[in-house]
């Protein structure tokens, strides 16, 4: 053997496992207001350090500071807060409904509510979001009927998708919300194609797409960015880095080597890294990327740094693979608390009104769930069976017609 060390195989491990103290010591967090804001029409080579900074607006005193402060109307802040609180109330209630056997499956977006809500409110009604299963806040922000969501989750006779999709894999075209697929990363490219089509038609609509940080490893992610970059598609490509992909920590997707925003560098598009628990920062970064897209300056990759405070889904117990109190130690806090505290600091909100809104929203969710239960929970009520055979093609072919007859519907 040569006089060299033996080769060793490296398998990354998270800093803390169950029983350990949560450890976020290695995280470099720029202060609020510290990261520069390039002009929207600045050339990409002038902003190659952006992926290593972090856009933050809310400071420790709950004030909006720095060049990224979007100076939002108080009314918008209230709408954002309400939609985030509604999202959480809905998640909590429907998660329980799963535990009570009323549905087969549920996934929460606890801790990540600022992302979908801010982006939904920021973008236009005619833009299109290519969502993941963790952005129901998008629909909450646009006042999608809660009962329709509940019915979809219960796969009951009122299910707007007629029992065809796993709970929470919604589709809501009129709300700018594309159909969710179970195959991770597979629709990132659809957003790029949709945005290219809008550009081709001389339209003014742009697209926004999400993947989780774990999904950045999928080929579809890289293909989509390649196309977005080559054709300067008017699309905002978002990575919600919530630190965990089921039980695998973000290092398994490459986070120990670089940032997810830095994936943009190789494609020559701007890569922004954003405090995903800061409603104002998410808004400002999205606005910046949207302006670039609308000016024909192409795509932006945004890493939204956040933390998945709850389990991956109803099917896992996060305490089995990470410290139970890790969420509480997460240095970027809770997005709802932070926006609440900001509004309080502005003198536009107080604990009493907050508690009153909370109970009003809880009641709103309870009423929707009750109405959904009255139609029926999973297995107790179903969409029309004959509808199972519809929409395979625009017009059914003989196989579908014959098999429907064979089934007697």
Ligand X SMILES: Cc1ncc(C[n+]2csc(CCOP(=O)(O)OP(=O)(O)O)c2C)c(N)n1
Per CB under 6 A, contacts with ligand X among 214-233 are 214-215
Question: CA–CA separation, 137 vs 83, rounded Å?
Answer: 7
CB of 130 to other proteins, least distance (A): 8
Is there binding between residue 76 and ligand X (CB under 6 A)? Answer: no
Decide if residue 139 touches other proteins (CB under 8 A): no
Can you tell me which of 37, 56, 108, 134 binds ligand X, judged by CB under 6 A? 134
Binding mask 276-315 for ligand X (x = CB under 6 A): --------------------------------x---x---
Using CB under 8 A, pick the residue from 81, 172, 238, 272 that binds other proteins: 172
Helix (H) or strand (E) holding 128: strand 128-130
Phi and psi at residue 240, in whole multiples of 5°? -85, 100
- DSSP assignment of 327-339 equals HHH-TT--HHHHH
**Structural contact between residues 394 and 388, judged by C-beta atoms closer than 8 angstroms:** no
- On whether the CB atoms of residues 171 and 178 are closer than 8 A, the answer is yes
Q: Does 238 bind ligand X (CB under 6 A)?
A: no
Structure tokens at 35: 């990261």
CA–CA distance, 146 with 167 (Å, rounded to integer): 14
154 binds other proteins (CB under 8 A): no
Q: Of 6-14, 205-213, 275-283, 350-358, which part binds ligand X (CB under 6 A)? A: 205-213
* Cβ-based nearer residue to other proteins, 68 or 170: 170
Contact 193, 234 (CB under 8 A): no
246 or 345, CB closer to ligand X? 246
Residue 151 in the binding site for other proteins (CB under 8 A): no
Strand locations in 246-369 (E): 248-249, 271-275, 300-305
Minimum gap (Å) between residue 216 Cβ and other proteins: 15
Q: Single out the residue of 223, 316, 341, 362 in contact with other proteins (rule: CB under 8 A).
A: 223
Pairwise CA distance, residues 154 & 102, whole Å? 7
The dihedrals phi and psi of 151, each to the nearest 5 degrees, come to -60, -35
Contacts with other proteins by CB under 8 A lie at 128, 130, 160-162, 164-165, 169, 171-173, 178-179, 181-183, 186-198, 200-201, 207, 219-220, 223-224, 226-227, 230, 390-394, 397-398
């Amino acid at each position: 053997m040569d006089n060299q060390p033996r080769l060793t195989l490296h398998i990354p491990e998270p800093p803390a496992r169950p029983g350990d103290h949560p450890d976020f010591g290695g995280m470099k967090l720029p202060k609020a207001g510290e990261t520069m804001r390039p002009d929207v029409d600045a050339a990409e080579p002038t902003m190659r350090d952006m992926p290593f900074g972090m856009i933050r607006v809310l400071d420790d005193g709950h004030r909006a500071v720095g060049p990224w402060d979007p100076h939002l109307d108080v009314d918008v802040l209230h709408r954002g807060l309400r939609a985030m609180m509604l999202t959480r109330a809905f998640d909590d209630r429907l998660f329980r409904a799963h535990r009570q056997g009323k549905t087969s499956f549920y996934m929460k977006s606890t801790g990540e509510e600022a992302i979908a809500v801010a982006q939904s409110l920021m973008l236009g009604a005619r833009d299109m979001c290519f969502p993941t299963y963790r952005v129901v806040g998008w629909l909450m922000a646009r006042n999608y009927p809660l009962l329709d969501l509940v019915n979809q989750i219960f796969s009951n006779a009122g299910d707007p998708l007629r029992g065809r999709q796993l709970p929470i894999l919604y589709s809501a075209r009129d709300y700018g919300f594309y159909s969710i697929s179970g195959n991770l990363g597979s629709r990132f490219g659809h957003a790029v194609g949709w945005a290219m089509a809008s550009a081709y038609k001389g339209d003014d609509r742009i697209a926004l797409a999400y993947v989780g940080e774990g999904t950045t490893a999928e080929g579809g992610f890289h293909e989509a960015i390649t196309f977005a970059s080559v054709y300067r598609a008017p699309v905002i490509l978002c990575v919600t880095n919530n630190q965990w992909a089921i039980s695998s920590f973000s290092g398994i997707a490459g986070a120990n080597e670089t940032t997810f925003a830095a994936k943009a560098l190789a494609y020559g598009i701007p890569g922004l890294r954003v405090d995903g628990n800061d409603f104002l920062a998410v808004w400002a970064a999205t606005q910046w990327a949207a302006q670039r897209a609308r000016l024909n300056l192409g795509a932006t990759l945004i890493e939204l740094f956040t933390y998945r405070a709850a389990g991956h889904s109803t099917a896992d117990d996060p305490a089995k693979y990470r410290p139970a109190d890790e969420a509480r130690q997460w240095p970027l806090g809770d997005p709802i608390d932070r926006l609440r505290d900001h509004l309080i600091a502005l003198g536009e909100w107080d604990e009493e009104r907050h508690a009153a809104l909370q109970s009003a929203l809880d009641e709103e969710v309870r009423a929707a769930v009750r109405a959904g239960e009255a139609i029926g929970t999973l297995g107790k009520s179903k969409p029309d069976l004959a509808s199972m055979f519809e929409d395979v093609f625009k017009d059914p072919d003989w196989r579908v017609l014959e098999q429907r007859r064979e089934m007697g519907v």
